[in-house]
Each structure stands twice: as C-alpha cells, then as structure tokens.
C-alpha cells in the first residue's frame, strides 16, 4: 500500500511538470505580442496573469526590473499553499517564506539562476504562515518580450512534503523488513503458486527466501526454481494447503511432516500481494527433534501411567487433584481409609469444606499462593473426619496448568507429642517465672515489712522516720517497675502509643547513655536519613509507647555495658529498613520499619544461651547483679508494638541487639508537650466522682483527694457511678475511675459518660487490664497503679484544664 501511494505521487509530479512547461510556453508567446510604443503588451501581461490564475498549480510572477525582484502576482493556489493573502504577498521578495531550516545552498542556486536569467529547478524548504514547514519543488523560468528583454520571472511550485515523507517511510519500512527478514531464526519464503485449468495447485516457485531457510530445510539455492525440481517427491497435501491459501486468502497454522525431506515443520502461511498474483508467504520452523522427543515421552508416559495408577491406589497419604476454582477433581482411596470420606462426597466439594474453622484462613492463604504458582511445603491444618474426629494433615502441593496436585500426610501423633513438649516447657517456664517473682518480691516485701516495723517503735527520731518512709517509697517504685517488666514480657502491659521520631528520642537519650556507661566506654550514635518517601521531621517516626521505648533502649544499653565490664565501644544506629529478617522460626516480614541497633565490643554470648536470653529472670550475671527482666521487657515491648527484637553475637567479638518497630510514613511527629503542670496545692473544692470497687484503694483515693482540697463522691461500681452522675449532673468536674471492675468496666463507663456529657473529663487508673493491654486507652488519660498523690493531682489538674480549654474554644465566636 505504501509503494502504491508513492507511485501515485510520482505520477502527479510528472503531470504537473508537463503542465508547467506547456503553460510557460503559452505565456511567453502571449508576452511576445506587444503593441507599438509599449515595452510589453497589456494583453500579454493579462494573458500571463489570467493563465496563472486559472491553473490549479501554485504560481507566482515576480518583476526583476524593480528593486529586490518583488512578487507582482500570486494565484489562489499559491495563497492556499503558503497561507498568506494576495495583499500580503505582492510587493515582497519570496525569501520571507524561508526559515531556519532552509538550506543556504538551495537559496544560492536560486539566486544564481535569477542573476543569470536562466531556468532552475530546486527543492527548497519553505514555511507556512503558521510556522509549519513544507518541502517545495520550485520551477523558475524567465519570460522575455519580443525584443528579448527580460520582463518577468514566472515560478510554479509543487508541495512534495507528503511525497518525501511517504518515500522516507517506505525506505524505513523496507530497511526494517530486510533486517527482520535476514535476522530471524525461523525459515521464511515467498512462493508463487501454479494452478491447472481446474484451479488445482500443481506447483510453486520460490521468489524470495531468508538466510534461515537453508538451515531449516537443508535445501540450497532455490530462488527462481520450482519446488517440483527441488523436492520431486513432495507430498500432495503441501500443494493443496498452499493453493487454498492463495485462492481464498485465509491464513493457516499447522504442523506436518515432509516425508520427502525427512523433517517435521511448524508452518504459518498467508496470502500476500494482489490475489491475481497467487503469492503465499510461509514462516516455518523445523520441529523434528521435538516430535521425536514427544514420541519418546509418549511411550514413557504409557509405561508410567500404570505406575502412577498403582501409587494412586496404594498410597497411605491423601492425594488430591484440585482446580484453581478450589473444587476437588479427583481423590485417592486413602481418604476413605483415613477420614471416612468417599469419592462421591469429596469430588465437586471445595477444598476448605473439611478444614477446621480455626485453620480455614491459613488454608485459604496457602491456596492463593498455589494459584500464584508458588510451591506449598508442609502446611499443617486439621481436617474433619466423617465420625466428627479431627486429624492433623501436613500438605505439600504444586501447580500444573490450571490444576494443582497435593499430597497430605497424617501428623496427628507428631502434633500431640509437640503439644506435650510445649506444655512441659510452659510448666518449666512458669515454675522458673514463679520462683523468680517470689524471690524478687520477697526481697521487696522484706524491706517494706522491716521499715513498717521500725516505724512503730516509740520515740523514733524524725531523721530515721523519714529514712524508713523513703525506703518504703523507693521499694514500692522498684516493685512497680518489676511488675511492669513482667507485664511487658507477657505483652500485657498497658501501652500508650504516640507518634514520635525515633532518631530524636535516641538523640535525647544519648546524654543519659554516657552517664550509664561511664568514661571508659566510648559511645557513638548514628541516625540515618529517612529516605525520599518520608520527608520532614516524621522521616523516622513510629507509633509506640515512648516511655517503654526509652526503657527498652536503656535496658539494652545497660546489658551492653555489663557485657564489656566497663571498657570498650558502644554504638547505637537508627536506620530505615524494608523488612524484618527471619528469626526464631519466623519467616522474613516485608514492610516499612525503623531499626535501632545497639552494638558492643564485649565478650559476646555463648551459642547455647542465645535462645534463652529473652526469658524472664534468665541472666548470666552474678547473684545480685541483675533480675534478668531487662531483655524480657524489650522482647515484650517489641512484640506488643508489632515489631521484633533480634540478636547476633560472636564470642570475643561483641553483640548486636536490633529492635524493629513499624514505621509511620504519613503522620507528622507532634510538637513536644508543654511542661507538666505542678501538683495541686489545693483542689479548691473541685468535686471528683471516684469509681473504685476495692474498699482499701477507694478509701485511700478519697482520703488523699480530700487531703489536697478536693471534694469527692465515691461509687463502688459503674452502675452506682452513673446513678450519682445523673442525680446531680453538674456537680462533678472530673471522673476518676478504676478500669477492672465487676459488670461494666472503666473503659465502658468512660464511653457512657462521654456520650452523656461530651465535655466531662475522665481519668482512668489501672495496674493491669486485658482490655487496656489489647485495645489501649482508647483516647482516655491513664494513671498507672501504684500511683503517688503527686501523680494523681497532676493528672486530674491536666484533665480539668484540657476540658476547660476545649469549652472556651467552643464558646469562642471565631
């Protein structure tokens, strides 16, 4: 099609050139008939302009006898070509149609021809009025009067832009075709079919072949030769197939053997060119080796089929063929023997029909991985038997086409043994934990008991009384810390998550680290940039309990200090990472995390201790040098925050602990909190609704609040608290409630009060709550038990101040 278009343009060019020559002769003849006394006949000029106006070919006439050889006439076709009107063209030299892309050599040829008063044909780049270029084949001829004097220059134009573009495309297409033709590994040829009088194909001649043709067929020089000469015994079916393609134009794709050539071919044939030419293009590959291999495989497959049938029937493992729609296609007899289900009950059922409900989500995730083409190894799920019992089955599966085959082995006994082992280890851990707790708490209680006994002595000096009271207070703080560490390890502590910058937190801790480690330990900290996706101060942000994070870092620093015996190098490195590595039988977890690594140059950890270092009360330190709860707190904090803790160590080369926490990328780190308000010197009669079910704690809280100037109403459960709240609704300015209570818990009570009075502040108190451990504080401020009077007054004052600020903001007219 492209070749036909180029040929059409060339024909048009030849016709216009002939018309131009005829017109020039006619116009010159008209100019040569001047009247007496005139240099040029007006009739001759009129004839020149009239003839130029009537032609559809773009024409201009210039006057070389006037300065700068201006245009004196331009026909409508020329105006349409360049986009200018006649009034804009007349009086100007045509060089204004040239532009930055015009070749100066073409301009020089045109100028020289005009100066020499001779004809010239030049292809020049001109520009339309809108600035777009076009290629113009320009024919310029001088016109003389009867005395041989030059009167005009007559020019005609042919826009050859499209012709040149099509010609270039044709050349480019032909070059691509030839490159592909020569480079492909497949054989390719174009043949011309010969038919008899009944339109029956009887032969074909090779017109063109590519270099791969000989490699694929084994034939030599065939161009111009008939196939009957080259392969005399070629089978009849080849002629019939190619003849049908040439006659009908329907392409074909097939595989067939050519016995005369001793080869098998994969062939694609289609008609090309004009149908009367009877030409067929053939693309083919020699597949003889593949066909031979298939024949061998078919023979082998027949032998193996009987083998597979025997395995299918005799296997004691569950075998199943399942579609990607999750429906069983076939099962082996072992299903009935092991689970009591027959083929009629299984075939057509979904794969998860018989899976235990607790294991169904894991089974569905595994099914999705198989569909994606992954191999499934050792997936343990429980299947329901026909008698209602459950069996643990370990599955392996692999996809084949749009099906997958799976084999399941009964591992129920192994699972039972593993559970027994876990229970044994759990009892051992509980025993160790109980012993450690008892030991540490007995030490603390001893200090408290001794101090209280001493306080009862008569005539006790004030200095000693204050010392014993301080000892009790310090011991209570240590007991609270011990309880917090135990809850942290058990992942039952009440966390107060907030968004904070880990890099900033580590930097703030650096001064404390220097104090903890001492002068002989060289300390360095490195905080990496957050990366392109997290610009600004939140670049290394996490959403976790900042206080517990600080405690975890300090615990790891203290552990590193003790490992170096007071001398060495300690480094903290904070960096972003895209995954948590595989650790403790858990696979790698991809995602966005912040990693905090603490490395020391100490003695390292013995390999046999690496698996135990996070156990509570396990320590390699001497008696009295540590409780063994520091690293367990780090472990519990990491797990409860959705992260992980890893350790690598080499004896004599040091240890590295790395804490991984999920990274927050879209939230900004809040500004530092304002300074904590000072404890209340007086409550000024502010009324507090105290909700506490424990008589001793409730009486103490009420007495303490009255001591510092609050008025109180004490309710022993949530129902009584709501009754008091409704009895005189506006007498309370704050509610102080325990979390763990019979009936409605403190969190539920806080939500109910918030529903009734949205502006009422509620402060919660708890030593431990599974609700808090699992769901957090849910937006309410929390005071952890045991608390001091100063902590209580500070928390209440903040809650009241925040509530008043919110009310003032709501009343503001702005």
Instruction: Please say whether the beta carbons of 658 and 596 come within 8 A.
Output: yes
In tens, the pLDDT along 284-296 reads 998 888 888 777 7
Top-confidence range, 459-463, 495-499, 681-685? 459-463
Q: Mind listing the pLDDT tens digit for each residue in 107-125? A: 888 888 888 888 888 888 8
CA atoms within 13 A on the CB side of 155: 29
Class of domain 184-291: alpha beta
Domain ranges of the chain: 2-166, 184-291, 315-410, 416-489, 497-664, 687-811
Round to whole Å and give the CA distance between 520 and 655. 18
Query: Which CATH number applies to 497-664: 3.90.78.10, 2.30.110.10, 3.30.565.10, 3.30.70.20?
Result: 3.30.565.10
SS3 (DSSP) at 492: coil
Domains 2-166 and 416-489 share a fold: no
Q: Rounded to an integer, what is the distance from CA 724 to the centroid of its chain?
A: 55
Whether the per-residue pLDDT at 624 is higher than 50: the answer is: no
In CATH terms, the fold of domain 315-410 is Beta-Lactamase (3.30.450)
Share of the chain above pLDDT 70, in %: 71
- pLDDT-derived band at 455 (thresholds 50, 70, 90) equals confident
Q: Which residue is it, tokens 């082992």?
A: 421
**Which residues are CB-contacts of 332 (< 8 A; sequence separation ≥ 6)?**
312, 313, 315, 318, 319, 320
Q: How far is CA 472 from the centre of its chain?
A: 57
Write down the CATH number for the domain with range 416-489. 1.10.287
Assign a CATH topology to domain 2-166: Beta-Lactamase (3.30.450)
pTM: 0.34
Q: What is the mean pLDDT of residues 270-284?
A: 90
> Per-residue pLDDT tens for 4-14?
554 555 565 56
**Mean pLDDT over all residues of the chain?**
77
Q: What pLDDT band is residue 680 in, cutting at 50, 70 and 90?
A: very low
What is the pLDDT confidence band of residue 56, given thresholds at 50, 70 and 90? low
Q: What percent of the chain has pLDDT over 90?
A: 11
- Is pLDDT at 702 greater than 80 in this prediction? yes
Per-residue pLDDT, averaged over 247-272, amounts to 90
| Residue 535, pLDDT score | 41
- CATH superfamily of domain region 687-811: Response regulator (3.40.50.2300)
Question: Nearest to residue 529, comparing CAs of 520, 539, 538?
Answer: 539
What confidence tens digit (pLDDT) does each residue in 173-216 have?
565 656 666 767 888 999 999 999 899 999 999 998 988 898 88
What is the per-residue pLDDT for 271? 93
Above 80 in pLDDT, residue 249?
Answer: yes
Q: What is the dihedral of CA 258, 260, 261, 265, to 10 degrees?
A: 0
- Pick the closest to residue 734 from 805, 801, 808 (CA basis): 801
């Amino acid at each position: 099609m492209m070749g036909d278009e180029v040929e059409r343009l060339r024909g048009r060019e030849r016709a216009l050139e002939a018309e131009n020559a005829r017109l020039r002769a006619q116009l010159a003849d008209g100019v040569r008939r001047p009247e007496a006394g005139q240099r040029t006949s007006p009739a001759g000029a009129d004839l020149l302009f009239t003839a130029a106006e009537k032609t559809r070919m773009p024409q201009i006439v210039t006057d070389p006898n006037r300065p700068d050889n201006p245009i004196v006439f331009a026909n409508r076709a020329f105006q349409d070509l360049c986009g200018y009107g006649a009034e804009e063209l007349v009086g100007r030299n045509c060089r204004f149609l040239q532009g930055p892309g015009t070749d100066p050599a073409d301009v020089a040829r045109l100028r020289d021809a005009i100066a020499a008063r001779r004809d010239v044909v030049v292809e020049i780049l001109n520009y339309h009025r809108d600035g777009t270029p076009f290629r113009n084949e320009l024919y310029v001829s001088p016109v003389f009067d009867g005395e041989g004097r030059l009167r005009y220059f007559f020019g005609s134009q042919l826009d050859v832009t499209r012709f040149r573009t099509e010609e270039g495309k044709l050349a480019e297409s032909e070059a691509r075709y030839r490159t592909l033709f020569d480079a492909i590994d497949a054989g390719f040829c174009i043949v011309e079919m010969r038919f008899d009088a009944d339109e029956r194909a009887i032969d074909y001649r090779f017109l063109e072949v590519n270099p791969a043709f000989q490699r694929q067929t084994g034939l030599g020089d065939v161009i111009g030769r008939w196939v009957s000469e080259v392969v005399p015994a070629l089978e009849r079916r080849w002629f019939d197939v190619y003849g049908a393609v040439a006659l009908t134009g329907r392409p074909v794709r097939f595989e067939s053997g050519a016995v005369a050539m001793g080869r098998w071919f994969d062939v694609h044939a289609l008609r090309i060119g004009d149908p009367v030419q009877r030409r067929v293009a053939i693309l083919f590959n020699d597949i003889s080796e593949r066909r031979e291999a298939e024949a061998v495989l078919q023979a082998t497959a027949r032998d193996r089929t009987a083998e597979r049938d025997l395995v299918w029937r005799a296997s004691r493992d569950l075998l199943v063929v399942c579609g990607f729609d999750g429906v069983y296609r076939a099962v082996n007899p072992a299903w009935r023997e092991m689970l009591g289900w027959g083929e009629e009950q299984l075939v057509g059922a979904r794969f998860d029909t018989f899976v235990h409900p607790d294991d169904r989500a894991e089974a569905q995730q595994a099914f999705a991985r198989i569909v994606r083409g992954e191999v499934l190894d050792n997936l343990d799920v429980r299947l329901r038997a026909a008698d209602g019992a459950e069996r643990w089955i370990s599955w392996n599966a692999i996809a084949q086409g749009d099906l997958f085959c799976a084999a399941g082995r009964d591992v129920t006994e192994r699972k039972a043994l593993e559970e027994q082992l876990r229970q044994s280890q759990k009892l051992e851990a509980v025993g160790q934990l109980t012993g450690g707790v008892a030991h540490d708490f007995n030490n603390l209680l001893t200090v408290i008991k001794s101090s209280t006994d001493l306080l009862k002595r008569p005539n006790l000096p004030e200095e000693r009384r204050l010392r014993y009271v301080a000892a009790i207070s310090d011991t209570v703080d240590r007991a609270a810390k011990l309880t917090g560490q135990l809850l942290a390890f058990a992942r039952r502590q009440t966390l107060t998550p907030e968004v904070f910058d880990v890099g900033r937190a580590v930097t703030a801790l650096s001064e404390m680290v220097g104090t903890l480690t001492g002068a002989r330990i060289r300390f360095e900290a490195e905080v990496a940039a957050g990366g392109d996706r997290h610009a600004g101060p939140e670049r290394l942000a996490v959403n976790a309990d900042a206080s517990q994070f600080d405690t975890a870092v300090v615990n790891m620093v203290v552990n590193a200090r003790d490992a170096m015996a007071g001398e060495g190098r300690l480094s903290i490195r904070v960096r972003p990472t895209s995954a948590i590595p595989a650790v403790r039988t858990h696979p790698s977890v991809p995602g966005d995390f912040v990693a905090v690594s603490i490395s020391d140059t100490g003695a390292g950890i013995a390999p046999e201790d690496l698996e135990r270092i996070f156990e509570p009360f396990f320590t390699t330190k001497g008696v009295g040098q540590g409780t063994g709860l520091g690293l367990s707190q780090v472990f519990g904090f990491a797990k409860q925050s959705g992260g992980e803790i890893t350790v690598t160590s080499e004896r004599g080369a040091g240890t590295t602990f790395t804490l991984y926490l999920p990274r927050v990328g879209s939230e900004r780190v809040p500004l530092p909190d304002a300074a904590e308000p000072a404890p209340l010197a007086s409550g000024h009669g502010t009324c507090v609704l105290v909700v506490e079910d424990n008589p001793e704690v409730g009486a103490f809280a009420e007495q303490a609040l009255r001591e510092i100037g609050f008025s109180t109403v004490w309710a022993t459960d949530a129902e009584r608290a709501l009754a008091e709240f409704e009895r005189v609704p506006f007498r309370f300015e704050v509610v102080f409630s325990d979390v763990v209570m019979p009936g409605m818990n403190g969190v539920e009570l806080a939500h109910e009060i918030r529903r009734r009075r949205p502006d009422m502040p509620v402060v919660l108190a708890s030593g431990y709550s599974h609700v808090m451990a699992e769901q957090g504080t849910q937006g309410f401020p929390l005071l952890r038990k045991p608390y001091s009077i100063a902590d209580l007054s500070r928390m209440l004052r903040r809650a009241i101040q925040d509530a008043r600020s919110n009310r003032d903001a709501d009343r503001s007219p702005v």
